[in-house]
Structure 1
Amino acid sequence: MINVSMVVLGSLPILRCQSRYRKYYISDQYIQPQSYKMTHMKRRCTTQVISLPYDVDIDGEMSQGLRVFVLSDLHTDYSENMDWVKSLSTIRYKNDVLIVAGDVAETYNDFVFTMSLLKDRFEHVFYVPGNHDLWCRWEGDNYLDSIEKLNALLTACSGIGVKTSPAIIDGLGIIPLFSWYHESFDKEENITSVRFPSLEMVCKDFHACKWHGELSSKDLSLALYFDAMNKKNHDQIEEIQQICSQIISFSHFLPRQELCPEKRMLFYPNLPKIIGSDSLEARIRSIHGTDGNSTSCHVFGHTHFCWDTVFDGIRYIQAPLAYPKERKRRINDGEIWLPFCVYGNGKLTGKISPCFWCDYYSNNSRQPGNHELAPWVAKLYNRF
């Protein structure tokens, strides 16, 4: 076993090494040691975020009509994150929509308080559950399992006025998609040159979530169970497809492996086994079309990597608040430019590139067959 201290935060491990290369974090952009320069990456990679006044969208135009903002991975169990939510203006978003792509808080009370704060600030709030939301470790005997807690969260959302079903807002279709990850989502070759910790050691979901009957994180059962929850919204989705020329769908988990860096770039190369769902991408394509179009957008969360890119005609966006320590080591922070505006002036906002990995892959092809660990990863494991 690798002799490192591992702080496991949900499904995202933060590996710390007692050396001058001790600042290792899985975050949106900054995963290399501060003292290591990524000279092999092209200088065109963007390292700054554009900060805009709240009444201007990211095309530089004055916003008129409906605006839609997105946010994921709030983790308001951390007081710094709860303070950030409290600091959001109670005025500037009063006519706007907020899409929350999961991982609000670990406990029911923090979840309800956070969602109430957001509903006070936005006219419409949409939500899908993340894995942290379904943890039961601090809930005592309040819930028999994570499904019972899920139902309690959805009931709470209904009482607060938070939407968890598809809806049409000023002609825009917004579709929440329930999902869960499965190990077979990972289609890229395993890296076998180094022995990595097991999924059970790294991912707290295996211990903090409780599942009944045949539901398990070790097979497809959870992914299929959560995907089946979307079937009850079939008629609403069909209506949106018939009426709306623009649709935004969203989930917590990833629909494509390309929305995560290659394994050799990650401090935990087996991370792709606990991040996404094949059923989710199939459902997204059934909504937006096989080839997508310029009005198609899917928002996701979970990995804490900022993302803004297009695959097969669909724009994919992740805008995580993430953990406080991750934000401190980001190049682009996140406390200023979040929540992220994706829709204004009757259209999806134009693409900007504040995301390190999106810029990297726009200039470098993905090489899933390349097993050579990135220098900042190799330095961690080769030490021991």
Structure 2
Amino acid sequence: MKLYALSVLHLRHEHNRRALESLPPHPEDWLIVAGDVGERLEELDFAWRTLTARFRQVLWVPGNHELWTVSREPSALRGEARYQQLVALCRAHGVLTPEDPYPRWPGEGPARILAPLFLLYDYSFRPDDVSEEGAVQWAMDSNVLCTDEALLHPDPYPSRAAWCAARVEHTRARLEALPGDCATVLINHFPLRYEHVRLPRIPRFSLWCGTKKTEDWHTRFRAEVVVTGHLHMPATLWRDGVRFEEVSLGYPQQWTWRGDISRCLREILPGTPP
């Protein structure tokens, strides 16, 4: 029994949809989907119909793309309402979300709790000499501006940073209540540490990549592994003896050189030692 992870599926691209359908069955294994499945409900519905037929259990955390409001219809949901709509769709397919009780990993090995998180970002992934008020302009000065500024609405919160702060406090309380004899697998779309945002071509995009409020969560909450996506740069990194897995698939041109999509699945548990 294994735990796998994949993120940034971007199923609006037909090549990625066909690749997902080509995944072979893993009837005994679990799968983490760490956000950016798509922008529309039909893309998530397709993902869950496809993946729940292939894996014993699927877990999901939202990426920024799922939270976008792309419809111009007055009835289109925004912010927290949009997120809850996504949670309801996941539950209809038996997919676990950040709003569900954290499951214990049923595989072999020490006791572990899988913790899907939804934390967002607060523009704090920036140099110390850049103010919070001037952060977005600082990014724009290098011709960088995230589409979230137009499509990811924070309703009913006054800002995305305020929504992030509320999610961090809510999640911290849940993690602090976990039994102290269990390790964790922390799962979030956005990186938990600023140092892991390695974007050589667009370094100022870091603003939309996480919050410094989670810098110590890998040690504070006894993480064995931290699973994230968002960066389109799959990698295995280590900090304080904790394994950090960036598990993005990405746009077709970013991953097809690797061959079959099965080669992009990252084994989280049992995993490999340092």
TM-score range, shorter chain: 0.7 to 0.9
Does residue 1:116 correspond to 2:29, yes or no?
no
**Residue equivalent to 2:200:** 266
- 2:37 is matched with which residue? 104
Runs of 4+ in 1 over 4 A off after TM superposition: 198-201
- Match of residue 256, structure 1, among 182, 193, 207: 193
Query: Per-residue deviation at 1:182?
Result: 1.8
Letter in 2 for 1:176: P
State the number of aligned residues.
260
Contact 1:71 1:321 in 2 (8 A): yes
Shift of 1:254: 0.9
1:209 aligns with 2:131: no
> Is residue 2:273 matched to residue 1:338?
no
- CA deviation after TM superposition for structure 1 residue 132, in Å: 0.3
* 1:246-270 superposed Cα distances (whole Å, 9 cap, x missing partner): 4211100011122122xxx622231
Structure 2 Cα separation of the partners of residues 154 and 178 of structure 1: 11
Q: Does the Cα contact within 8 Å between 2:185 and 2:227 map onto a contact in 1?
A: yes
Q: Which amino acid aligns with 2:268?
A: V
Structure 1 stretches of 5 or more lacking a match? Answer: 1-65, 352-384
How many Å apart are 1:84 and its aligned residue? 1.2
Q: Return closer, same or farther for 1:173/1:109 CA change in 2, 3 Å cut-off.
A: same
Distance 2:215 2:82 in 1: 26
* Structure-2 residue corresponding to 1:315: 243
Summarize the Cα distance change of 1:79–1:142 in structure 2 as closer, same or farther, 3 Å threshold: farther
Which residue of 169, 172, 181 corresponds with 2:121?
181
- Please, which of 92, 99, 105 is the counterpart of residue 169 of structure 1? 105
3-state SS, counterpart of residue 202 of structure 1: coil
Q: Which residue in the other structure is 1:376 paired with?
A: none
From the superposition, tell whether residues 336 and 212 of structure 1 become closer, same or farther in structure 2 (CA, over 3 Å): closer
CA distance in 2, matches of 1:123, 1:97: 6
Match of 1:87 among 22, 28, 38: 22
Structure 1 residue 209 displacement after superposition: 1.5
Q: Secondary structure at the match of 1:94?
A: strand
Match of 1:223 in 2: 164
TM-score for the superposition, normalised by structure 2: 0.85
Matches within 5 A, 1:228-243: 228-230=169-171, 233-234=174-175, 238-239=178-179, 241-242=180-181
Return the alpha-carbon distance in structure 2 between the equivalents of residues 253 and 97 of structure 1. 21
Q: Say if 1:312 and 1:187 are closer, same or farther in 2 by CA, change over 3 A.
A: farther
Cα deviation, residue 278, structure 1: 1.7
CA RMSD across the alignment: 2.5
Alpha-carbon distance, 1:279 to partner: 2.3
The residue number in structure 2 matching 1:159 is 92
Aligned residue in 2 for 1:69: 4
* Residues 1:68 and 1:113: Cα distance change in structure 2 (over 3 Å): same
Code of the residue aligned with 2:59 in structure 1: it is F
Alignment partner, residue 62 of structure 2: 129
Deviations 1:310-365 (A, max 9, x none): 1122110011110112225x6x4673412111213xxx3235xxxxxxxxxxxxxx
Residues 84, 69 of structure 1: CA spacing in aligned structure 2 closer, same or farther, 3 A cutoff? same
